[in-house]
């Protein structure tokens, strides 16, 4: 136990100031998103810009690409939420069959991607890196369009991501994603309540 604590302490001391800034901005993003506040997107833009650099430094190529995508989605999400006042834009749901179709397609895409790139990239955590990236791409689009079930996807994505980041000695980011799991539950309940109010008003 003492060795584990010492290891965590050593990792924490080695964290960069940039990672701390990225973590704080990422926390602001998910908190504001759960509250349907449009200012979540500028926080996402700044945080992901930092993470593009950090993930490249620790050899997570899919995550580097993912955060480049997040940069674009931050702009897209801002424009989507700006079209209608964010508090009046309705939260929607998709059918189970719709989600199962996407789950099947994305899982197949993940295996194809890993197979195609396995000879060119570092094998360690390649599957985890690829699947987290693919499902995060999809789920971020669900956030931009206010699909309620995005939070369920994030519960699983964030759990696996936390394990990956701890394994890569990104302690603060790993802890961030542990908190994200809790935020995902909060976000789901908050959006579900908003959806019910909208349906009752309609």
pLDDT, one tens digit per residue, over 157-201 is 999 999 988 887 777 778 888 988 998 999 999 999 988 887 766
- For residue 154, which of 164, 139, 173 has the smallest C-alpha distance? 139
| 160/163 Cα distance (integer angstroms) | 5
Return the ∠ at Cα 152 (arms to 147 and 157), rounded to 5°: 115
| 126/118 Cα distance (integer angstroms) | 8
DSSP 91: P
Query: What pLDDT band is residue 2 in, cutting at 50, 70 and 90?
Result: low
- Whether the pLDDT of residue 9 is over 70: the answer is no
Task: Give per-residue pLDDT as tens, 53-95.
Answer: 888 877 777 778 888 888 898 999 888 888 765 456 788 999 9
pTM: 0.76
pLDDT at residue number 114: 84
- Whether the pLDDT of residue 143 is over 60: the answer is yes
| 67/49 Cα distance (integer angstroms) | 7
- Whether the pLDDT of residue 123 is over 70: the answer is no
Spell out a b/e string for 166-175, using b for 16 or more CB atoms within 10 Å of the CB, else e: bebebbbbbb
Average pLDDT score over the chain: 84
Where does residue 37 fall: left (phi above 0), alpha (psi -120 to 50 degrees), or beta otherwise?
Answer: beta
Per the structure block, which two tokens stand in for 82? 């700006």
| 125/129 Cα distance (integer angstroms) | 6
pLDDT at residue number 168: 79
């Amino acid at each position: 136990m003492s060795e584990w604590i010492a290891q965590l302490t050593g990792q924490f001391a080695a964290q960069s100031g940039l990672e701390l800034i990225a973590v704080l901005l990422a926390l602001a993003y998910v908190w504001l998103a759960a509250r349907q506040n449009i200012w979540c997107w500028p926080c996402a833009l700044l945080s992901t810009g930092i993470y593009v650099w950090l993930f490249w430094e620790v050899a997570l190529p899919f995550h580097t690409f993912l955060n480049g995508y997040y940069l674009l989605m931050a702009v897209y999400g801002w424009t989507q939420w700006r079209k209608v006042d964010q508090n009046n834009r309705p939260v929607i749901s998709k059918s189970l069959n719709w989600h199962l179709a996407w789950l099947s397609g994305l899982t197949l895409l993940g295996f194809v991607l890993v197979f195609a790139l396995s000879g060119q990239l570092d094998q360690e955590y390649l599957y985890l890196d690829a699947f987290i990236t693919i499902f995060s791409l999809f789920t971020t689009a669900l956030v931009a369009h206010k699909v309620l079930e995005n939070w369920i996807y994030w519960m699983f994505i964030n759990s696996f991501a936390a394990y990956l980041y701890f394994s890569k000695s990104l302690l603060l980011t790993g802890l961030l994603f542990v908190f994200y799991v809790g935020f995902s539950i909060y976000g789901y309940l908050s959006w579900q309540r908003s959806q019910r109010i909208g349906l009752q008003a309609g």
